[in-house]
Amino acid sequence: MAVEIMLLRHAQSMGNVLGQFIGHTDVEITELGARQVEKLEEFLRPYQIDAIYSSDLKRALDTVAPTAKSHALKINTDVRLREIFGGDWEGVPFDELPTLYPEAQARWLRDPIDSAPTNGESIRQIFNRVKEFMNEVVEKLDGKKVLIVSHATTLRVLECYFLGGLENWANLEYLSNASVSFYKFKDGEYSLVRRNVDEFMGDMVTKLPSNI
């Protein structure tokens, strides 16, 4: 069994610009994000893509829509590809979290894997849902090339799964907006081909703020 996998993070969103904790909140991409999408479509145009799976949130769908159109593919949405659920932290500026939720935020910083935003979701919970998702995908798409569209935290967790487990969390940086990472699945194992490809955007590359 073999599957070629491309991981795509959504383009710059309003949540990124405003510096808020945006998980399941459905926000738009920015004008810069729209330009990143144009470059992304140009970059992916020569690649063979047999299937597209995406988070059902608008920022992910809008990022991949032009590529889906140019490849004449439908977008398969899956809620398991959503960003982390922030619970009570949804929409709260990151700079205000230490004041509004001092104990919970301190605990989350100490133990990002098993603690969670207040009434939200932990990294381990994300791991379980993306593991389930990927097991289904590789079973269904043997011999195919798949594009998976998701979000910063969810993709970081998914890469941890590919690389052997959540102990890899601290060794991975968040992916750039609209970047593409390439992995292979063969004989039950995942391997990294190339990570965080974003050069095609030139001076339009954007990343998560340093206070996240």
The encoded tokens of residue 57 equal 């949130």
* Domain layout of the chain by residue ranges: 2-93+124-204
pLDDT score at 168:
95
pLDDT score at 1:
84
In angstroms, the Cα distances linking 75 to 118, 143, 164, 190, 199 are: 32, 19, 28, 24, 25
Please give the torsion angle defined by the CA atoms of residues 38, 40, 45 and 51, in that order, rounded to the nearest 10 degrees. Answer: -120
pLDDT (average), residues 179-186 = 98
pLDDT (average), residues 68-72 = 98
pLDDT score at 37:
98
Which pTM was predicted? Answer: 0.96
Q: How far apart are alpha carbons 9 and 56 in whole angstroms? A: 13
pLDDT surpassing 90 at residue 39 = yes
Q: How many CB atoms lie within 10 A of CB 115?
A: 17
pLDDT tens digits, one per residue of 130-168: 999 999 999 999 999 999 999 999 999 999 999 999 999
pLDDT surpassing 70 at residue 40 = yes
Q: How far apart are alpha carbons 130 and 127 in whole angstroms? A: 5
CA 74 centroid distance within chain: 19
User: Crossing angle, helix 123-140 and helix 152-163, to 10 degrees?
Assistant: 70
How confident is the prediction for the chain on average, in pLDDT?
96
Whose CA is closest to 86, among 15, 155, 30, 166? Answer: 15
Give residue 210's pLDDT band: very low, low, confident or very high (50, 70, 90).
low
- Portion of the chain with pLDDT greater than 70, in percent: 98
Inter-residue contact 13 to 203 (CB < 8 Å): no
Sign, CA torsion 28/32/38/43: negative
pLDDT score at 55:
98
Q: Which CATH fold would you assign to the domain 2-93+124-204?
A: Rossmann fold (3.40.50)
pLDDT (average), residues 76-92 = 97
pLDDT score at 212:
62
pLDDT (average), residues 92-120 = 94
Q: Which residues contact 23 (CB under 8 A, 6 or more apart)?
A: 82, 83, 84, 85, 86, 89, 90, 117, 120, 121, 153
pLDDT surpassing 70 at residue 85 = yes
Q: Which residues contact 171 (CB under 8 A, 6 or more apart)?
A: none
